[in-house]
Amino acid sequence: MTEICNWPGCNEEGTFNAPKDPRNLNERQYFCKAHIKEFNKKWNGLTGFSEDELFSMQNGAATWGRPTWATAVNGAKFDPLGASPFKNSSDLFEFFQSRLKEEGASGNMGAHVHGPMPLTSLPADVQEACVIFNLETPLTPAELKPKYLTLVKQHHPDVNKSEHAPDFIKRINVAYKILTDFAERRGLA
């Protein structure tokens, strides 16, 4: 059974269905391709609902009757207006602490680790960046900048006509970003 477009004055075939009423989404009407776009621009599924009806939709109907629980982590409830119940809410799942430990740091979030580190104790991405920069240990961003500029001048495709120059300059840029980020995390910036 072919439906005619429900748009006033249109006799095209209605192949796209849409709800007739926000209160009864199962009752459908059909539109042609041009008019379904117009219908969708104007459609508001909340038209005609009172404030109380909207509130009742938010409480219960929105979860389809399934139970919900208060926001909590490990039994500690979150109070947006009160103090945080967590020891270190800036690193709730200890993601950053584990990264600092991986980088050779110890202690709390934000610990500053200075001094040379063996290349093998560094994360893999930092090790690779050190190899590209021909470094034994990461430097501060201020010390990295001259090394970076030297490498860029040496390997830029406008200067170095090697077929590998475009790829190598990309690797230099990524390595520079990795090393400067690493230095900033270590508190060397």
The pLDDT tens digits of the residues spanning 27-66 come to 999 999 999 999 999 998 888 888 888 777 766 555 556 6
pLDDT in tens, 8-26: 999 999 999 999 888 888 8
Where in the chain is CATH 1.10.287?
A: 116-185
Give the span between the Cα atoms of 36 and 17, in whole angstroms: 8
**Alpha helix locations (H) across the chain?**
33-42, 51-58, 95-102, 124-133, 141-155, 165-185
Lowest mean pLDDT among 42-46, 93-97, 138-142: 93-97
Three-state DSSP class for residue 1: coil
- Say how many CA atoms lie within 13 Å of 92 toward its Cβ: 9
What pLDDT, on a 0 to 100 scale, did the predictor assign at position 118?
Answer: 64
- What is the band of 111 on the pLDDT scale with cuts at 50, 70, 90? very low
Q: Determine the pLDDT at residue 89.
A: 47
- The topology (CATH level 3) of 116-185 is Helix Hairpins (1.10.287)
